[in-house]
Each structure stands twice: as structure tokens, then as C-alpha cells.
Structure 1
């Protein structure tokens, strides 16, 4: 069983849950620390920990087969978490997803593979996974789910064109996407992004 860290409100007392997915080389503890900057006081926080601090071994732009079986295993890990929350009485509209870098890619890939009306989705520097975006890989309807995708131009790991391709696909599946490309931001999470998601995703 892979490790899951929890913080924020206890699940029994929370009306909303935020699943936070760390990047390559990061940790569940790292990504949880970001919550101090977010308007998530009312949330239960869940941060899964990747084995070896990586969700899959190759670039997210590699052919999907090159990242197997790790990619499928990581997606199943998120699916198990969401399913467990639903069994505890949370609807998908009470479940929010957030990821950074490799975690953002995994978050978007999971969401697009299981599209439904989630509470909100945040991708700090990420895009859909694979050597190309294949619309046949994804199913469901986001039904207006708000999604924020922020990234840098340029970003060494995440090309802007993949961010834009991902936005087009997600919007085609019914998501309300806010895509913001920041000039020379670097591979990080900026204050501007924090302000944006607090307003768009975590605002009351």
C-alpha cells in the first residue's frame, strides 16, 4: 500500500476534499505545505506519495508505453483514492484535484480519463500525457468543472503547445478552463498562480 498523507480538516468534518499530487523528486509533504497559501481552510487535504518520488520514469511526452506499468499504476492509485472518498459519502463535485509538474500531468491525465463534475482542478505546469494527444483515450463530461492550467513560456519540461492542446481537449469535454501562460516564469509555482486559483477554484 502506497503512503498517503492527510492534513486540514478530518474527513468526517469536511465538506470538500483536495487531493494534492507532488512533482518528480518532490514529496507528499512538500505539496501539502502549499496549502498554507491556498483558501482551503474548509478542506480535508490528501497527498499521495509516489514510490521513489516519481509517478512514472520517462518524460510525460514519451510514448505512453515507455512509462508503463508505472503510469497505469499511478493513475489507479488516484482512482482508488477518489473511489474511497465516494464510498465515504463525497460526491465528485466535493472532490478537488491539484498537481505540480509531473503531478500536474498525472492530475490532468486522471481527470480527462474519468471526466465528471469535479469541484475544481489545478494544474501548475502540466499537460496531458503521451507523445501525442489522442482524443480516443478520454471519455466523460466535465459538465462545467473549473480547471486552471498555468505554465511558463518557455518551460524546459512542458512545451506551451502541449498545454494548449490539453486545454482544447478539456474544453471539448465540457470543462471551463482558465489557461495562463506566464512569460519566463520558470519551472515553479508563482504568486500570480496562487492568486488565480484562490479566486477561480477555491473562492467562496
Structure 2
């Protein structure tokens, strides 16, 4: 399955905006679902772009399954993120004014895209996610985040995302010169809490 490129937009029209936020939904979710979270974020002056996964799933298996099992879905999903970024760049948004927000499967996709395309961005928020693959393959990772603020929130335990992978992902991002903050919430469940939203606003959407 190759994903169709279908981007739902909201907020300030892209041609009139100076900042853009790319939002990536989780498995079974939708672009509209993830966009609805924007009302809780300090992004009133942002263009909002949310690509929609075909059949509501970015890739079929766990993010810590062997990468080959999730192909060609994963590569297609990453390409959709890249095309969404390029659409914003073509409209005049600078990379340092590009922001990301992903939840669950969308958080994993966000982090995987970032480590493969490291540069100075506005910032990123990943709620319950980590870099993708059974084994971490750093050969795909490149760039320097130049202190881009990245917030990662997660529950411990989480049924889909091991805490060990969250910390490993944060370490990689830090090594790539990102300014990473991780918050772990005991037994919170596979969801987003108000404190994570508050941290996102304080650290990223400030």
C-alpha cells in the first residue's frame, strides 16, 4: 500500500503564515482528530497541515518490528511527511519556523522523519513514540538540530512504546544537538494529558 497525499489544512492560510505546524495522527486516527488538538496549543498564528494516512494507518506492524515488515508503507509515510514539509517550504515558510506534533504512531513517524532530516526547526512534540525499527539503525540519521526544542511525553508502562526506546530516541536526538525534554507519567495510559500540552506550549510553542 502506498499512501495517497491528502493534506487537511487549518489555521492561517499557508501563503499568509510565517510559521507552520505539521500534525501526524496515530493508528486508527485521522487528520481531523489531530488537528482538533491545535485548539489547546499556542499556534493561533500558524498554518496547520495534517496529512492523512491511507486506511488510517501509517504502517501495519509495531514500530519496533523489523523495518522490512513495515515496507513499503513506512517509506511512503515518510515521503508524505517530506512532501508536506516541502509544500510549506515552497510557500515561503522557513525551516526554522517549521514545527511538528505527533501522537503514538504519528509520534514515531515524526521522530523517524526528524532523525533522518536533522536541521534547525522551530520545534517538535512527540507524545508516546520513538525512532522506528527492531534495531536502531543510525546509518539513516543525519544532520544537526542546532538546539531545536523537542518535547517527548510518554506513559510508563505503555502497551505499544517501551520506555527504553523513548529514552534511546531522546539520547540520539540529544547527540544530534537537539534540546530534548522527556516527561514520563506512571500508569497514565496511551493518551495525551494536560501537563504534556502545558509542556509543549512552554518549551516548543512559546
Structure 2 match to 1:186? 189
Deviation, structure 1 residue 2: 2.3
Structure 2 match to 1:127? 130
Deviation, structure 1 residue 35: 0.5
SS at match of 2:119: coil
Root-mean-square deviation (Å)? 0.8
Structure 1 match to 2:148? 145
Q: Distance in 2 between the 1:182 and 1:63 partners?
A: 28
Structure 1 match to 2:70? 67
Q: Describe the superposition over 1:150-184 as per-residue Cα deviations: whole angstroms up to 9, x where unpaired.
A: 00000000000000000010100010000111111
Structure 1 match to 2:84? 81
Structure 2 match to 1:166? 169
Structure 2 portions without partners, runs of 5+ = none
Q: Distance in 2 between the 1:42 and 1:199 partners?
A: 16
Q: Describe the superposition over 1:2-46 as per-residue Cα deviations: whole angstroms up to 9, x where unpaired.
A: 211100111122110000000000000000000111111010100
- 1:1-204, aligned counterparts within 5 Å? 1-203=4-206
Alignment size in residue pairs: 203
Give the ranges of 4+ consecutive aligned residues of structure 1 lying more than 2 Å apart after TM superposition: none
Q: Distance in 1 between the 2:6 and 2:84 partners?
A: 11
